[in-house]
Structure 1
Amino acid sequence: MSDYTPTPLILDTTVLHELARGEVGTISLIQGYDAAGQPMVVSVLAITSTLMEARDEEAADAMHGLATMEHVTVAPLKGAEQAEDLALMVVTAGLDVTEAHTAAIADASLCPILTFDADRWQGPSRLLEAGLFTIEIADPDELGEGP
């Protein structure tokens, strides 16, 4: 038996927004990752932002469904120390609080951000000591059902 554990993917708001819209290719991709045992992490603030933007029951159902997947972890914001780290990320990387939380998770874990728009992470990445790694989804319909 192998001890290999895949590197977690950090889902950004571009992915969450597609899930909230019910985009079938993105849903299939994330379900495929989950079925294959691919760990995924999503910021609680990214979920909040997605729900604030969508403001409908379908989006809420999508976010609840995502959060209950076996290999998805919702990363909370815990305590004053994490709040301080988040504030530092906002100031250092010039991101809004939601994206800064996603970046902070990726930065702390050295895990890649799964996104539909890798360019949006290039500027903030250059401002961080370790940088950020991204994996850009070009077209989820072409990717099939995950790894």
Structure 2
Amino acid sequence: MIDQDGYVHILSRADDTINVAAHRISTSSLEEVIVEHNEVAETCVVARPHSIKGSVPVVIAVLKHHRLDHTLDEIKNDLVREIRQRVGPFASLYPHNVIFVERLPKTRSGKVLRKMIRSMISKLAMDGNSPDVCPIPTPATIKEEAV
């Protein structure tokens, strides 16, 4: 997709799926819905282990840097509602699994470090630790280690 400012967005990947209660869901199908929200600039969806469903999606989103028209809770609820309507309620996205960050960790070439994010979410879910400290080693390919 090319937006009104001329930026190119690649909207699909076939290699990343989440198994939620025996439903295989492509993370790219969730990301496509999320980035269409007026307040969201960029997103990454990964799986979080769940004791009953196997896993559930976690949305890591970067908001656009302008005055927000909605509160963070309203945006979370909008995203959950859109996922339920367009993908289906079986996707099991809940507001507490939508996390807003300033930037996503990327490689020097601009790829989002999905494997690293997925590993962090899994490790934090198992340990129950605070996300203030990265629970896994930082890869050498990361562009900005502070992110």
Fold shared per TM-score above 0.5 = no
TM-score, normalization by structure 2: 0.28
Greater RCO between the two (CA within 8 Å, min separation 6)? 1
* Structure number having the greater strand percentage: 2
* Structure number having the greater helix percentage: 1
TM-score, normalization by structure 1: 0.28
